[in-house]
A and B are shown apart, each in its own frame.
Chain A
C-alpha cells in the first residue's frame, strides 16, 4: 500500500477544522447580531407609557402597547392551562402505561410529527374549527391554536422526564401498598419535578413568541382586553402589522415589542436550561 504524503492530509484537516470553527462562529455572530439590533432599536421605545397606555392612531406620537402585553399574557396563560394538564397526563400514559401498546407508539409518533407541524397550519385548523362556527375572530380560537402547539411538547418532555425516574422508586411505593395513581402523582412526579418544570417553561417560551397561529384566530385589536370572545390584542401580531406599516412611530413601537418578546422568551429559555444544569450537577 502506498502511503499518501502527510502534509496534504494535515492541510485538509486544518482547512476542515477552520471551516468548522468558522461555522460555529457564524451561528453565534448571527445570534448576537439579532440581539444587538433588537436592543439597539427597541430600547428607545420602552418608556413608561409603552407599558401603561393604549396604542395611538398613526402619526400621533406617544401611546403604548399595554393592551397587547396584557393580551399576550392572557392568551399564553389560557393555552398553558389547557395544554399542561392534558400534556402531563398524555406523558404519564406514554411513560407509565404504554408498554407494548400500539396506541402508545402511535401517540408518541404523532406527538413528534405534530411538533414539526408548521404553526400556521394549526392556525388554519383553529380558524375552521372555532372562527368559522362562531362567525368572528376571537381569543378562544387563538388559545386553541396555541394549546395545540404546546400539547405535544409537554407530552414528550413529560414522558422523557418520567422515564428518567428509577423503577426501584415506583416498586418501593407500590410495595407499601400505594395505588398506581398515587405512585405517579406523589412519588414519580415529585422525583421528576425539576425536569417537568423545565419542560413546561420551554413550551411556554416557545408558544409566547408565536405569531402565525394568531394571525387569523385571535387577530388583533387596538382596545383593552375584555374577554376572549372577541379579537384579542397581542404583541406578536402587533409587531407584524406595525412593521409592515409606513409610519415610523409604529415601526418604533414594533421594535419595542420585539425587544420585550425576545427578552421574555430568551430569559425563560435560559432559566429553564439553568434549572436542568442545576439538577444534573
Chain B
C-alpha cells in the first residue's frame, strides 16, 4: 500500500510556539497562518495541472472553431487537403495516424512482452540490470535523433534490404506493393515501434515482477516450464496491467511527432501500400503549421490537433484506469 500519511489524527499544530504564552485564537499564531498559506499555495499549484489539461482542450476547440464551422462533419471524413483552394479534411491524417500506430503496436507489443519476460524470468540479475538500463536509455533518446537516424540511415536500409525482400515474398498483397523508396508508412511504423518499446516493456516488467512468487512457484512445482508459467499464470494474472501498458504505448505512438515527420514522406493521401508516403496528424502539424498563413488553414491545423488531443486523452484515461485498477487490486503503490 502507498504510504498514507497518518497525520490526520495529529493536531495541525500540536504545541503553541511559546509555552509561556497562551494565545486566544489559532488565527493569531504566525505558525498556523504560515501553515494555512502553505497549504493553500500547494493546493493551487496542484490545481494547475488539471486546469492546464482543461485549458488545452478549450483553447484548441476555440481556435479550431472557424474550420469546424466551415466544413462541419465533412472535415473528419474528407480526404481533401488543399491549401490553395482552402479545402481541408482530416481523413488522410487520421488514416495515417491509425495505420502507423497499428504497425508500431503489432511490432512493439510482442517484442516488449518478450523483453519483459527476458528481464524478469530468464536473465541472471546482473545481465537483467544492465540490459534493463540500456533498454530504458532507449526511451531517453530524443525523438529528433530517431528522426535523423531514421531519415539518413534506417530509411536507406529499408529501401535496400527490407522492402525488396518484402516485395518479393509478400508482394502479392497490396500492402507490400510499390517502389521501395524507404520513406513511408512502414518505416515510420517500425521506428515508432522502437520508440514505444521501452515504455511498454518497463510497465510489463513491473507487472511480471508483481505476480506473487508463491503463485509462480506452485506452477513451477507442478513441472511447468518457464513459458507455460508465463502463458498460463503470469500473463492472465497481470492481464489488466499489460493491457494498460499497451494503451500507454498506443498513446505515445499516436502523438510521436519528429521521428515520424522525418520518415513518413508527408503526403496527404490514402494509399493501400505501406511503402507509400503518407502523413499523421502530428507530422502534418509539425510540417505545415509554421508556414500556414491563411486563418482557415491555421484553424484547420488546430482542428487536427483537437482530434489528436481527444484521441490521446481517451487512450490515456483508459490506460490510467486499467493500471490504477491493477495496482489497487494488488495493493501496491506505483
Contact = CB atoms under 8 A, between A and B. Distances in A.
Instruction: Decide whether A and B assemble into one complex.
Output: yes
Interface of A: 9-10, 12-13, 16-17, 19-24, 26-28, 30-31, 33-34, 37-38, 41, 86-87, 89-99, 103-104, 106-107, 109-114, 116-125, 127-129, 132, 137, 148, 151-152, 155, 160, 163-164, 166-167, 170-171, 174-175, 177, 179-182, 184, 205-206, 209-212, 215-216, 219, 236, 239-240, 243, 251, 254-255, 258, 261-262, 265-266, 269-270, 273
Contacts of A179: 13, 31-32, 34-35
Taking chain B's interface residues, is the majority helix, strand, or loop, or is none over half, making it mixed? helix
29 contacts: A20-B114, A24-B115, A28-B131, A38-B149, A90-B46, A93-B45, A103-B46, A116-B316, A117-B255, A117-B316, A120-B285, A120-B308, A121-B56, A124-B301, A125-B56, A125-B59, A155-B49, A167-B6, A171-B6, A174-B10, A179-B35, A181-B35, A184-B38, A205-B140, A209-B143, A209-B144, A243-B147, A243-B148, A251-B152
Contact of B49 (A151, A219, A262): A151
B194 interface: yes
A167 B59 CA distance: 42
A21 B194 contact: no
B248 interface: yes
A121 B333 CA distance: 30
Interface of B: 2-8, 10, 12-17, 31-32, 34-35, 37-39, 41-43, 45-50, 52-53, 55-56, 59-60, 62-63, 110-112, 114-115, 117-119, 122-123, 131, 133-135, 137-138, 140-149, 151-153, 194, 197-198, 201, 225-228, 230, 248, 251-252, 254-258, 261-262, 282, 285-286, 289-290, 301-302, 305, 308-309, 312-313, 315-317, 319-320, 333-334
B118 A24 contact: yes
Contacts of B302: 124, 128
A99 B8 contact: yes
Given A86-B45, A99-B4, A116-B252, A31 B138 contact: yes
Nearest to A179: B31
A90 B108 CA distance: 34
A18 B122 CA distance: 10
Contact of A265 (B63, B115, B142, B225): B142
Nearest to B333: A163
Given A24-B115, A216-B289, A117 B56 contact: yes
B6 to A, nearest CB: 6
A269 B142 contact: no
Contact of A118 (B10, B115, B257): B257
B252 A124 contact: no
A107 B42 CA distance: 12
Nearest to A148: B52
Contacts of A21: 118, 122-123
A34 B135 contact: no
Nearest to A122: B56
Given A24-B135, A128-B302, A113 B313 contact: yes
Contacts of B305: 120-121, 124
Nearest to A163: B3
B257 A119 contact: yes
B49 A90 contact: yes
A182 B13 CA distance: 11
Contacts of A37: 149, 152-153
Nearest to A219: B290
B286 A212 contact: yes
A224 to B, nearest CB: 21
A118 B254 contact: yes
A165 to B, nearest CB: 8
A216 B10 CA distance: 51
A212 B5 CA distance: 39
A89 B62 CA distance: 30
B137 A31 contact: yes
Nearest to A261: B142
- Closest 9 pairs between A and B when the two form their complex, measured CB to CB: A118-B255, A209-B142, A181-B38, A89-B45, A20-B118, A13-B225, A93-B42, A23-B114, A179-B31
Contacts of A95: 5
Contacts of A174: 7, 10, 14
A113 B114 contact: no
Given A116-B315, A182-B31, A209-B143, 18 more contacts: A26-B111, A28-B131, A28-B134, A33-B149, A93-B39, A97-B42, A112-B320, A117-B53, A120-B308, A124-B63, A163-B3, A167-B3, A177-B13, A181-B34, A209-B142, A236-B142, A243-B262, A258-B145
Contacts of B133: 273
